[in-house]
Amino acid sequence: MSTTLLVAEHDGAQLNQSTARALTGLAPLGDVDIIVFAENGSAVCAEAAALAGVGQVLQVDSPDNSHQLAAVVAPQIAAIAAPYSVIAMPSTTFGKDLAPRAAALLGVHQVSDVMEAIDAKNFRRPIYAGNVIVHENVEAFDKVVLTMRTASFQAAVAGSDAAPIVPTETTADLPDHTRFVKLEAQASERPDLQGAAWVVAGGRGVGSEENFAVIYDLADKLGAGCGASRAAVDAGYCPNDMQVGQTGKIIAPDVYIALGISGAIQHITGIKDAGTIIAVNKDEEAPIFDVADIGIVGDLFDLAPRIGAALGK
Ligand SMILES: Cc1cc2nc3c(=O)[nH]c(=O)nc-3n(C[C@H](O)[C@H](O)[C@H](O)COP(=O)(O)OP(=O)(O)OC[C@H]3O[C@@H](n4cnc5c(N)ncnc54)[C@H](O)[C@@H]3O)c2cc1C
């Protein structure tokens, strides 16, 4: 049995890639047990068990887990945590919601947004929008709860042998003060922003909601996901689930195309792990050009269709 437990993020049918990325980040700690809370988690557990570096998969099936509400899952984690010294989850909306509740119930320290697990007691993580990296030593504690900065790690791949799947029950008292009512999600044909290999993003320079069509058109030509700066979201040009950055999504696409985005540090922190950054800005002094691999000075409305024509091939 491992001493590291990773809570799987999934949609009931498939494992979210953030889990495989977090698993890679935890590799320096040795084999990792993965726990799957679901109504019927068999398919998700099989996927998790196939990943290299997994000790065993704990399958906690219950109707209570059909929507994996943080308020319901956290007491189950607390009830099962005794043998583990590290309890981790991806630093996604799911993990950020769940981790503080689990840490509070266990009465232990939480380390957020871990970009490097040196060993089970030493972790590195960014603060001040990535301007400073801190080293946290948690030797004073028996146990720690982590959220793993998934953009910092490649997804773990399949191993040679599948890990055992262990049906597991918890004895936790579950609260009834929080119930699932309904899920409202933006329906989109485009790739998910956090999983997309290519992302096209627009900033305040795009100028209006109508003008954002230029971003969507280019994304569709390239088969890319769509992102935005906070200024574009705040101005109402696009939905806030497109926001990239410190208070938005942290992403690591192979290619990131920024159109009309100045390159504020709070935006850059969300894309610093991207493979190639292409920036278009009409201001040659824009800070985005300091981090861009390819910078083009010019008008985005002129250049976006030309980039689509050149790269869409
Ligand atoms: C606590 C905190 C958290 C924050 N979190 C985030 C975050 O998560 N994400 C985020 O993005 N920001 C965040 N911000 C805001 C951030 O500081 C910037 O204000 C924001 O990123 C600016 O967005 P922008 O680059 O789109 O707008 P601007 O800074 O206004 O830049 C617009 C750019 O478009 C260019 N432009 C204009 N017209 C054209 C054209 N036709 N063609 C080409 N270029 C053109 C301009 O030259 C300019 O560089 C945060 C700020 C704070 C204080």
**Radius of gyration in angstroms for the set of CA atoms belonging to the chain, rounded to a whole number:** 21
Closest C-alpha to ligand 1, atom 26: 203
Q: Residue 291 corresponds to which tokens in the numbers above?
A: 């981090």
Separation of 18 CA from ligand 1 center, angstroms?
27
The pLDDT assigned to 116 comes to 97
Phi, psi at residue 307, to the nearest 5°?
-65, -40
Separation of 204 CA from ligand 1 center, angstroms?
6
One-letter identity of residue 152 = S
Q: Measuring CA to CA, which residue among 192, 135, 174 is closest to residue 9? A: 192
Residue with structure tokens 């509400």? 69
CA distance 285 to 278: 15
293 pLDDT higher than 90: yes
CA distance 180 to 252: 31
Phi, psi at residue 58, to the nearest 5°?
-95, 120
Residues with CB under 6 A from ligand 1: 203-205, 229-232, 243-248, 260-262, 264, 266-267, 270, 280-283, 286, 299-301
**pTM (2 decimals)?**
0.85
312 pLDDT tier (thresholds 50, 70, 90): confident
Pocket test for ligand 1, best of 246, 289, 297 (most atoms within 8 A of CB): 246
Task: Give the whole-number percent of the chain exceeding pLDDT 90.
Answer: 88
For the CA atoms of 216, 267, 102, 28, what is the dihedral angle to 10 degrees? 100
The pLDDT assigned to 105 comes to 97
185 pLDDT higher than 80: no
The pLDDT assigned to 289 comes to 98
CA distance 197 to 261: 20
All structural domains of the chain: 4-167 (3.40.50.620), 198-311 (3.40.50.1220)
285 pLDDT tier (thresholds 50, 70, 90): very high
The pLDDT assigned to 188 comes to 79
The pLDDT assigned to 186 comes to 74
124 pLDDT higher than 90: yes
Average pLDDT, the chain: 95
Q: According to the 3-state scheme, what is the secondary structure of the chain?
A: CCCEEEECCECCCCECHHHHHHHHHCHHHCCEEEEEEECCCHHHHHHHHCECCEEEEEEEECHHHCCCCHHHHHHHHHHHCCCCCEEEEECCHHHHHHHHHHHHHHCCEEEEEECEEEECCEEEEEEHHHCEEEEEECCCCCCEEEEECHHHCCCCCECCCCCCEEECCCCCCCCCCCCCCCCCCCCCCCCCCCCCCEEEEECHHHCCCHHHHHHHHHHHHHCCEEEECHHHHHCCCCCHHHEECCCCECCCCCEEEEECCCCCHHHHCCCCCCCEEEEEECCCCCCHHHHCCEEEECCHHHHHHHHHHHHCC
Q: Tens digits of per-residue pLDDT, 186-234?
A: 777 888 898 899 999 999 999 999 999 999 999 999 999 999 999 999 9
The pLDDT assigned to 313 comes to 66
Closest C-alpha to ligand 1, atom 22: 231
Q: Tens digits of per-residue pLDDT, 85-117?
A: 999 999 998 999 999 999 999 999 999 999 999
The pLDDT assigned to 192 comes to 87
Residue with structure tokens 């976006």? 304
Separation of 97 CA from ligand 1 center, angstroms?
27
